[in-house]
Amino acid sequence: MNLTEAKKALKEYFGYDEFRPMQDQIIQAVYDQKDAIVLMPTGGGKSVCFQVPAVTMPGTCVVISPLIALMKDQVEGLLSNGIKAAYLNSTLGTMEFMAIENDLLRGEIDLLYVSPEKAVSSDFIRLMQNIKVNLVAIDEAHCISSWGHDFRPEYTRLNFIRKHFPKIPIIALTATADKLTRKDIEQLLLMNEPERFTASFDRPNLSLTVRPGRQRKEQIIEFVRSNSGKAGIIYCLSRKQTEELSSKLNGAGIKSAYYHAGLSSRMRSEVQEDFINDNVPVICATIAFGMGIDKSNVRWVIHYNLPKNIESYYQEIGRAGRDGAKADTILFYSYADVTMLRDIITKNRAENEEIQLSKLERMQQFADALICRRKILLNYFSENTDGNCGNCDICKNPPQIFDGTVVAQKALSAIYRTRGKTGMTLLIDILRGSRRREIQERGYDKIKTYGAGAEYSIYDWQTFIQQLIQLGLVEIAYDSHNHLRLTDASEEVLFNNKKVELVKMTAIMEHRTKSKETTYKKTKRERLRDALFERLRALRKRLAQKKGVPPYLIFSDASLEEMAARRPTNIHDFMDISGVGRKKLQDYGKVFMKEIHDYVLEQSGQGMRIKGSTHLITYDYYKKGMNPEEIAEERGMSPVTIYSHLASLHDKGEDIDLMQYIPTRDFENIQGLWQQNNKISPKEIYENNEGSLEYHVIRLSLSVLKRKGNMMF
Ligand code: ADP
Ligand code: ZN
């Protein structure tokens, strides 16, 4: 086995032209019969690392995977790519089990997914002894470690693999493993000097945004409306919040459902199915949601509350954009959340309380940060990056430094005059001169700084006060209703005019709202592309419903986007789309090409000039049985142009009989020249015959000869 074969399989079965970083090295290690540990982020492309070996090596690859719900999905995905796959777990009846066993014994299965419970049973070990297993892949391998949060006791019994089958290579894959976990994986699986692969954890297609957690529901409604129809998850801290938010969204005409551990398992799987099948686009969920699903077209993830640490945050946003297409993430941040999380941690009196608190602090620093957020994340995972990412809120709207002494004085003075008895929200309302009743009742509308900061928005004030906290000029009394307090350092600013530098952040959302008022005009090209994408998406949904599979298993969003941008209408171009392998082309090529074809013709019928459409129009007339002269007449073009359309359609693999337009003698003449030199240009042929051959005859003949030539090799 070598990588050339692997690459061929990658295109044939998965429709991808290139391996992602590390995939090829990992596959090579498997071919070399070595054990391997693979650490790759969610969506990084772990599956290909064992699936490509599985389809290229003789025998069966056994995949041990803890998530039964995922198994069915994964196997369906493989089948839809023309790969022979099956799964064994407790949901199968005896008959089904026996049928699969038979297929296995006949060597007719390339990939077999097994739950850990099943895998460690003596029946299964016996079955493994009777078939040729070429590789054992352990997915979610961190489940083996009791250090991790997903510990599964059955995983520790997987050492049977090495004991019973010392020669079969083992590949262990996971997206979350610290050093200790990795060591556990190696030791408990009895791995033999495994090769270790750690891919970058960067997910450049995910945008990162942090917003102040004020009026979150309104912000969310606005965001979801401008992303209408796209699937997303909103993570909330409490069950109640998921229900409230979902009902608010539904009230605003946004189809959504909620999901949490308090629902019956039937309800939960219903919500999950509706989400997977693109029936309900928005799910408000506690963190439990998303574990057992492989949906690749989640287009956004919102955190309604601050997550408790960066690991969870990254894992949760990682559920967006697994197909590699653009996806958005938004984190709402408020100090109240920090307090709440602190309380939860300290109340639980967990033994690792210290660690948890410091992790929370790192999370908070991330939310407070004024430098590229991706840099912070990657640094957190010990990965160094140069340069800014260009796809986070800070990079998109770099903060501007200004002399913030007066701003700081206003805030500090307001804290002073309210005697440290106000939290952030109330303080901002005082500064902005709000008419809230509470302010009047407490007499805060009489103090000197009331309304002194009306020129700044709430958002601005939030970011200013956050910075004052970071600068040590303000403190939060966590033990006293999160009231803001002065510090020793504040006096210098308040009474001695000590200079304070602040940065002004532009709220991306405000920015957006404003630019929406002036309405961003899409270019004609973008409008065409987006409308076609919607049509292809609708087609995908219809096909998925008919087949009873999730839409993203037919084609990923990334593939549809590429189709919408490139508008392939022949096999040649269609195969070039990333994600189109042989089976998908066979099963879906025709319908999708027809949709694109119809769309292009409709648009050009309405006077749109679309690249490639003129060929299609000619082709349609050709298929109706008109000859080139008639088509030229009908279209008001010259016959030479029509011939050249037909030749380029033929070049791209369309079924067009060009020979009928070429006089036999001429063809033989040109063929003779071509056989001597197959690089000869039309011009050379023309000159060689002193102009006695018509130019279009040369063009048509060369098209025929080239295709014949290609078929011979
Ligand atoms: P993981 O298991 O690491 O979360 P997957 O194996 O599900 O990730 O892969 C994530 C997505 O990336 C899938 O849609 C997969 O088809 C796609 N993918 C994998 N390898 C490649 C590749 N070489 N080129 C393009 N897309 C790929
Ligand atoms: Zn950035």
Q: What is the pLDDT of residues 470-520, one digit of tens each?
A: 888 999 887 788 899 999 999 999 999 999 999 887 655 554 444 444 456
pLDDT digits (tens, 9 = 90+) for 198-219: 999 899 999 999 998 888 999 9
Q: In this structure, which amino acid lies at residue 127?
A: L
Residue 534 contacts by C-beta under 8 Å, 6 or more apart in sequence?
Answer: 229
* Higher pLDDT, residue 374 or 349: 374
Phi, psi of 87 (to 5 degrees): -135, 155
Ligand 1 center to 603 CA (angstroms):
34
The kind and range of the H/E element at 90 are: none
Q: Pairing between strand 483-486 and 474-477? A: antiparallel
Reading the block at residue 42, the tokens are 């969610």
- pLDDT at res. 518: 45
Whether 77 is in the pocket of ligand 1, judged by its Cβ within 6 Å, is no
Secondary structure class of 470 (helix, strand, coil): helix
Q: Flag whether pLDDT at 540 surpasses 70.
A: yes
Mutate to test the pocket of ligand 1, among 24, 76, 205, 322 (most ligand atoms within 8 A of CB): 322
Which ligand has its closest atom nearest to the C-alpha of 375? 2
Reading the block at residue 449, the tokens are 């700084």
Q: Flag whether pLDDT at 52 surpasses 70.
A: yes
Mutate to test the pocket of ligand 1, among 20, 24, 48, 50 (most ligand atoms within 8 A of CB): 48
Question: CA 66 to CA 601: how far, in whole Å?
Answer: 49
Ligand 1 center to 44 CA (angstroms):
6
Domains of the chain, CATH where assigned: 3-198 (3.40.50.300), 206-395 (3.40.50.300), 399-515 (1.10.10.10), 524-611 (1.10.150.80), 614-708 (no CATH)
Whether 324 is in the pocket of ligand 1, judged by its Cβ within 6 Å, is yes
Question: CA 588 to CA 20: how far, in whole Å?
Answer: 25
599, 578 Cβ separation under 8 angstroms: no
Which ligand has its closest atom nearest to the C-alpha of 45? 1
The kind and range of the H/E element at 648 are: helix 639-651
Q: What is the DSSP letter of 143?
A: G
Whether 74 is in the pocket of ligand 1, judged by its Cβ within 6 Å, is no
Reading the block at residue 231, the tokens are 């699937």
- pLDDT at res. 347: 86
Q: Flag whether pLDDT at 193 surpasses 70.
A: yes
Question: CA 369 to CA 362: how far, in whole Å?
Answer: 10
- pLDDT at res. 415: 95
**124-138, 512-526, 653-667, range with the lowest pLDDT:** 512-526
Question: CA 571 to CA 617: how far, in whole Å?
Answer: 17
Question: CA 272 to CA 17: how far, in whole Å?
Answer: 32
pLDDT digits (tens, 9 = 90+) for 298-345: 999 999 999 999 988 998 999 999 999 999 999 999 888 998 899 888
Residue 374 contacts by C-beta under 8 Å, 6 or more apart in sequence?
Answer: 202, 208, 385, 388, 389, 391, 392, 395
Question: CA 59 to CA 136: how far, in whole Å?
Answer: 11
Residue 65 contacts by C-beta under 8 Å, 6 or more apart in sequence?
Answer: 71, 74, 113, 114, 115, 139, 140
- pLDDT at res. 68: 81
Which ligand has its closest atom nearest to the C-alpha of 207? 2
Segment 536-544 shows an average pLDDT of 97
- pLDDT at res. 693: 86
Residues with CB under 5 A from ligand 2 (ion): 372, 374, 388-389, 392, 395
* CA 289 to mean position of chain CA atoms: 17
Reading the block at residue 496, the tokens are 């001695």
Q: In the chain, what percentage of residues exceed pLDDT 70?
A: 96
Question: CA 464 to CA 461: how far, in whole Å?
Answer: 5
Distance between first and last Cα of the chain: 23
Question: CA 388 to CA 410: how far, in whole Å?
Answer: 34
- Which residue reads 């709202």 in tokens? 513
Segment 437-459 shows an average pLDDT of 92
Reading the block at residue 40, the tokens are 């790759």
- What are the angstrom distances between the C-alpha of 369 and each of 210, 395, 420, 509, 604? 9, 12, 26, 18, 50
User: What DSSP string runs through 324-376?
Assistant: SS-EEEEEEE-HHHHHHHHHHHHHHT-TTHHHHHHHHHHHHHHHH--S-HHHH
Whether 316 is in the pocket of ligand 1, judged by its Cβ within 6 Å, is no
Q: How confident is the model at residue 616 (pLDDT cuts 50, 70, 90)?
A: confident
377, 395 Cβ separation under 8 angstroms: no
- What are the angstrom distances between the C-alpha of 80 and each of 60, 293, 584? 18, 18, 7
Segment 628-653 shows an average pLDDT of 90
Exposed e or buried b per residue across 566-602, where buried means at least 16 C-beta atoms within 10 angstroms of its C-beta:
bbbbbbebbbebbbbbebbbeebbeebbebbbebbbe
For ligand 1, atom 25, name the residue with the nearest CA.
16
Reading the block at residue 600, the tokens are 């292009």
Q: Flag whether pLDDT at 349 surpasses 50.
A: yes
Which ligand has its closest atom nearest to the C-alpha of 199? 1
**In the predicted model, what is the mean pLDDT of the chain?**
90
For ligand 1, atom 20, name the residue with the nearest CA.
45
Question: CA 130 to CA 588: how far, in whole Å?
Answer: 37
Whether 295 is in the pocket of ligand 1, judged by its Cβ within 6 Å, is no
User: What DSSP string runs through 494-560?
Assistant: HHH----EEEEPPPHHHHHHHHHHT-PPPPHHHHHHHHHHHHHHHHHHHHHHHHTS-GGGTS-HHHH
Ligand 2 center to 122 CA (angstroms):
52
Long-range contacts of 617-623 (CB under 8 A, 24+ apart): 618/642, 618/645, 618/646, 618/649, 619/645, 619/646, 619/649, 619/654, 619/656, 622/646, 622/656
Whether 67 is in the pocket of ligand 1, judged by its Cβ within 6 Å, is no
* Helical packing angle, 458-470 and 405-417, nearest 10°: 90
- pLDDT at res. 302: 97
Question: CA 78 to CA 109: how far, in whole Å?
Answer: 11
Ligand 2 center to 388 CA (angstroms):
5
Burial class (CB in 10 A: 0-12, 13-18, 19+), 426: buried
Question: CA 240 to CA 262: how far, in whole Å?
Answer: 10
Q: Flag whether pLDDT at 291 surpasses 90.
A: no
Reading the block at residue 125, the tokens are 């070990």
Q: Pairing between strand 501-504 and 400-403? A: antiparallel
Which numbered atom of ligand 1 lies nearest the CA of 20?
A: 23
Q: Flag whether pLDDT at 534 surpasses 60.
A: yes
Whether 46 is in the pocket of ligand 1, judged by its Cβ within 6 Å, is yes
Phi, psi of 137 (to 5 degrees): -105, 130
Q: Flag whether pLDDT at 553 surpasses 70.
A: yes
Segment 586-596 shows an average pLDDT of 96
628, 642 Cβ separation under 8 angstroms: yes
Which numbered atom of ligand 1 lies nearest the CA of 556?
A: 14
Ligand 1 center to 123 CA (angstroms):
33
- pLDDT at res. 711: 62
Angle ∠(545,548,550) on CA atoms, nearest 5: 80
